[in-house]
């Protein structure tokens, strides 16, 4: 969690609000990238552990249950809707 917190803090410190939304300062990209690398390193250390197995079991359960299937069905319907067409590339 600490690595994710560090990544979030680095990202937060690099974001500037603009008239068009947000901008991430290019000078901060190396810091953000370093923090994200730290997150990836932590995940690699967990491979094969009980936490890795618990994560994969939880992900499987979350993506194959009735609610997930309903979301998948609704997304398919939305992809072919007038609203999706109107959003176009923004989607």
Mean pLDDT of 29-40: 96
Q: 34 and 62, same structural domain? A: no
Q: 63 and 38, same structural domain? A: no
Q: 53 and 38, same structural domain? A: no
Q: How confident is the model at residue 90 (pLDDT cuts 50, 70, 90)?
A: confident
Q: 54 and 41, same structural domain? A: no
Q: What is the domain range of residue 65?
A: 49-91
Q: 41 and 56, same structural domain? A: no
Locate 72 and state its tokens: 């998948």
- Residue indicated by tokens 């491979």: 47
**0.75 exceeded by pTM:** no
Number of domains in the chain: 2
Over residues 47-57, the pLDDT tens digits come to 999 999 999 99
Q: Give the H or E element holding residue 18.
A: strand 15-18
Q: 36 and 2, same structural domain? A: yes
**In 10 A of CB 19, how many CB atoms?**
4
């Amino acid at each position: 969690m600490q690595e994710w917190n560090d990544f979030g803090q680095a990202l937060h410190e690099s974001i500037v609000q603009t008239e068009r939304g947000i901008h991430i300062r290019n000078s901060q990209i190396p810091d953000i990238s370093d923090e994200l690398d730290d997150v990836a390193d932590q995940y690699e250390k967990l491979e094969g552990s009980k936490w890795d197995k618990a994560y994969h079991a939880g992900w499987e359960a979350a993506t194959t249950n009735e609610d997930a299937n309903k979301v998948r069905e609704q997304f398919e319907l939305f992809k072919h809707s007038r609203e999706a067409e109107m959003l176009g590339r923004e989607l």
